[in-house]
Amino acid sequence: MPFIPVRSDAFPNLYEAASNQKINWNSGFMYSVQISSSIVKINKDRIQWYEYGTFNPSSLWRKMECEPTHDAFCRIVQDSPPSSVLVFPSGVVDVPVDLHQLRLPDEFSKFMRSGGGLHCDAPTSNRMLSFTDNSYDISMCDIVDGNLELVLEPDANLLYIRQRGASLWLTVVLSFLSLYLFVKTCEHFIKLVHGHRPCFAHGSITLPFLVAVASLVKLAVTDSVLILQEEITLQIIICVYTVIHTGVHIRQHLTTMMTANAGTATATAAGKAPGAHGEGCKDSTSEGGAAETHSDFFSEKGAAAVGPLVATQTLLSIELNQTIDTPFLSIYVVLFGLRNFLKFLNLINLHCRRDALSKSAKLRKTAETLADTFVFTCLVGIGMQVAAESREQYASNVWVLYVISILTGTLMHRITLLYVPGPES
């Protein structure tokens, strides 16, 4: 999504961060943006517009009619009793000397009262005092001090306003979760290129499962903070994929544990020493574990969950930034595509080993690969398309991402086979 950074320390008008020039709505580039875009979003960091995507006006937004006007983004008008509010005027931004003289449209007044009142009535707001004007202007200090976000639909002349809430502790927790999951992803890739199947770990399987379930519950009971319907669809797809993928591994782990416990109890009752029956996956760092893990690389042991790990980091990034359009999206797509192509090559190798797994296990792994391919396609087809600044950039990004994923996946597969014995070994 193309955008222009704005200065959050310049009151009261909007200024471009790069050129430090006042935004002009009546001519030039921003005028063309207004008349050609389906959605224009403004917050304290940027002016952003959308050529692709369907706006999702949830109950978090207050809808108001906003007509085109001279020297302003738009004007909120109420006929009876007559009142109006200029939104981001390019000219003088004033405020009445006596705020009790203000005449505000009902919808705007209700919204401002619910958000704690007016935010630009202090001397530091840099507004001109007026003895004659009894209207109010939305300017940069409203966005910064009130933490507001505005979305305009130019074709429908509708303005949507909401107040973004941010919890410091939630931000810290989600940031640490993202960092932890990224470390676990790196550990999995390191083991994979050395021919090891990572064992089941709650940090790699159960934690993504809980995060995805929490995201689905939040979507079900509250309105989404995402403003595009396509982003919400992608978020649901990622949540369902993570829940099912990790749920299968959790069920398999519990079944293995119950089988192992039953075998241990039977051996103890018979007066024999417990053996390796139902032992499951051994850690490659344990004594003798490396060779056993190499020989069992294509077995049912282990739980290499790089896909759900990357998908969960994408969910956390969406929650932190309240949009899919972040600098991390390309990294997540590359990691997911890399693992997906590596998994595809391993699946081909698995089918070449006729005695490696049962038919049901091969079918399950084939289904997992198809699910990974579907999610990767959605990340590229929805996520990358929403985040692209133009169709040309989107096509270029898709080509680069596919090439990187195929080349790195092939390289990792070849490196893995250096450690894994062949079928004749």
Average pLDDT, consecutive stretches of 10 residues, N- to C-terminus, the chain (425 residues): 86 87 87 88 90 85 90 87 86 77 82 71 74 81 86 92 82 92 90 77 90 94 89 95 91 81 68 51 46 50 75 93 88 91 81 66 81 92 88 89 90 77 53
Peptide bond into 5 cis (omega under 30): no
State how far Cα 412 lies from the chain centre: 27
pTM across the whole model = 0.84
* One-letter identity of residue 418: L
* Buried/exposed code over 381-395 (b: 16+ C-beta within 10 A; e: otherwise): ebbbbbbbeeeeebe
Domain final position from 143, 163, 183:
163
Residue 135 backbone dihedrals phi, psi, to 5 degrees:
-105, 170
Using alpha carbons, list the distances in angstroms from residue 260 to 79, 255, 256, 280, 293: 76, 9, 6, 8, 18
CA 135 to CA 96: how far, in whole Å? Answer: 8
Q: Which pair of tokens denotes residue 167?
A: 């919890």
Domain shared by 159 and 214, yes or no: no
pLDDT at position 378 = 93
CA 208 to CA 4: how far, in whole Å? Answer: 35
CA 115 to CA 162: how far, in whole Å? Answer: 9
Domain shared by 53 and 130, yes or no: yes
CA 280 to CA 261: how far, in whole Å? Answer: 11
Peptide bond into 123 cis (omega under 30): no
Domain shared by 208 and 159, yes or no: no
The single-letter DSSP state of residue 283 is P
Domain final position from 147, 163, 179:
163
β-partners of residue 324 are none
Local structure of 296: helix, strand or coil: coil
pLDDT at position 97 = 75
The single-letter DSSP state of residue 127 is P
Give residue 11's domain range: 3-163
Extended strands (E) in 102-157 = 128-130, 136-138, 148-153
What domain count does the chain have?
2
Alpha helices in 5-49, H assignment, sequence order = 29-36
pLDDT at position 339 = 87
pLDDT at position 52 = 76
pLDDT at position 301 = 53
CA 24 to CA 207: how far, in whole Å? Answer: 48
Residue 359 CB burial class (10 angstroms; 0-12, 13-18, ≥19): exposed
Of 89, 165, 188, the residue nearest 130 (C-alpha): 89
Domain shared by 211 and 291, yes or no: yes
Is residue 139 within 8 Å of residue 89, measured between CB atoms? Answer: yes
Instruction: Let me know if residue 425 belongs to a domain.
Output: no
pLDDT at position 41 = 93
What contacts 110, CB < 8 A, 6 or more positions away? 62
Domain final position from 163, 195, 220:
163
Domain shared by 155 and 174, yes or no: no
What contacts 339, CB < 8 A, 6 or more positions away? 189, 306, 307, 310, 372, 409
CA 254 to CA 205: how far, in whole Å? Answer: 12
Instruction: Let me know if residue 100 belongs to a domain.
Output: yes
Instruction: Let me know if residue 19 belongs to a domain.
Output: yes
Of 318, 304, 302, 326, the residue nearest 372 (C-alpha): 304
Alpha helices in 43-105, H assignment, sequence order = none
pLDDT at position 291 = 40
Instruction: Let me know if residue 278 belongs to a domain.
Output: no
